[in-house]
Amino acid sequence: MCKCGIPKQYTDWYHTRLTGRQMVLCFDNYTSPSFNIASGINQGCLLSAFSFLFYNANILDIPNRKNGEIGSGFIDNIAFGMQGPTFSASNQKIQVMMEKRGGCIEWSQIHHVNFEMDKNALVQVS
């Protein structure tokens, strides 16, 4: 949010809202002890869409447009496109983008985000 120019008073308020949170699980006749929540936002919070737009924004900086790579996203859905002379060349570009230093896998570890690899697809357009 700071990188996007959101005033510090708002980012400080939002940080406070996400800090020191705890949760209790209740189901059947069981209630768990209280435990800390390391990340995330309340289920159903009206700020969640707004939050994800900022939280995920810099993953779209990873593609190198000069190399025929593009990225687009909305909330927690991200799409990358590659342009290459062959299917194999495009697949190689995706692999490099995912695995390189500062790439998607590193980003996901820093941001505590898991990619659902079964939702990935490589499509060749002729």
Q: Output the pLDDT for position 126.
A: 60
Q: Is pLDDT larger for residue 2 or for residue 62?
A: 62
Q: Give the separation between CA 10 and CA 1, rounded to whole angstroms.
A: 9
Rounded to an integer, the average pLDDT of 47-61 is 82
In the predicted model, what is the mean pLDDT of the chain? 84
Residue of 81, 87, 39 whose CA lies nearest to 60:
81
- Residue ranges of domains in the chain: 8-46, 57-119
Rounded to an integer, the average pLDDT of 61-89 is 84
Q: Give the separation between CA 70 and CA 62, rounded to whole angstroms.
A: 9
DSSP label at 32?
P
pLDDT band of residue 100 (cuts 50, 70, 90) is very high
